[in-house]
Amino acid sequence: MNRRSIYVDGFSHENPIPAACQLGGLVTTGAVHGGGSGSDPDDFPARFGDQVAAMFDRVAAILTAAGGSLDDVLKFSVRISSPEDRDELNRQWCALFPDPSSRPARQVSIGTTRPHILVQCEVLALVAGDGGGDA
């Protein structure tokens, strides 16, 4: 089994790391945020809800590149900048995963890595097969 780095268009880290890594069917992401490439504040929406939507879209793109989908997620570890934003996170979470009997596990903590990053997550997923898609 070979480890494979996953990159997606429109998203990157400022450090030399991929968006995710895949080994067989196991996929784990680095920090996925709702901004653009790197951590330039100008590439981030000002509204929390917009960053959440972009973050979830990025996770979906990463999983597609790994040969999977959001249905393959086992756990989200989410960091939010303010506890007051949890309601909006929950609203989008329930829209993305409407079936309470088939939701990934989730842990939320307070505090992100930069002031303009209002939300970020790390994801653990298990996709069928060995992936192999590229974005």
Asked whether residue 135 is domain-assigned, the answer is: no
Encode pLDDT of 55-79 as tens digits: 999 999 999 999 999 999 999 999 9
Binned at pLDDT 50, 70 and 90, residue 87 comes out as: very high
Asked whether residue 29 is domain-assigned, the answer is: yes
Binned at pLDDT 50, 70 and 90, residue 133 comes out as: very low
Q: How confident is the model at residue 129, as a pLDDT?
A: 62
CATH number at residue 111: 3.30.1330.40
Structural contact between residues 58 and 32, judged by C-beta atoms closer than 8 angstroms? yes
Please list, in sequence order, all residues whose beta carbon lies within 8 angstroms of the beta carbon of residue 79, skipping any fewer than 6 positions away. Answer: 108, 109, 110, 111, 112, 113, 119, 120, 121
Tell me how far the alpha carbon of residue 134 is from its chain's centroid. Answer: 17
- Long-range CB contacts (< 8 A, 24+ apart) of 98-103? none
Asked whether residue 131 is domain-assigned, the answer is: no
Asked whether residue 24 is domain-assigned, the answer is: yes
Encode pLDDT of 112-132 as tens digits: 989 999 999 999 999 986 544
Q: How confident is the model at residue 58, as a pLDDT?
A: 96
CA–CA gap between residue 88 and residue 92 (Å, rounded): 6
Structural contact between residues 54 and 34, judged by C-beta atoms closer than 8 angstroms? yes
Range of the domain at 101: 3-126
**The pLDDT of residue 135 is above 50:** no
Number of domains in the chain: 1
**The pLDDT of residue 134 is above 50:** no
Encode pLDDT of 14-35 as tens digits: 888 999 999 999 999 999 999 9
Structural contact between residues 133 and 65, judged by C-beta atoms closer than 8 angstroms? yes
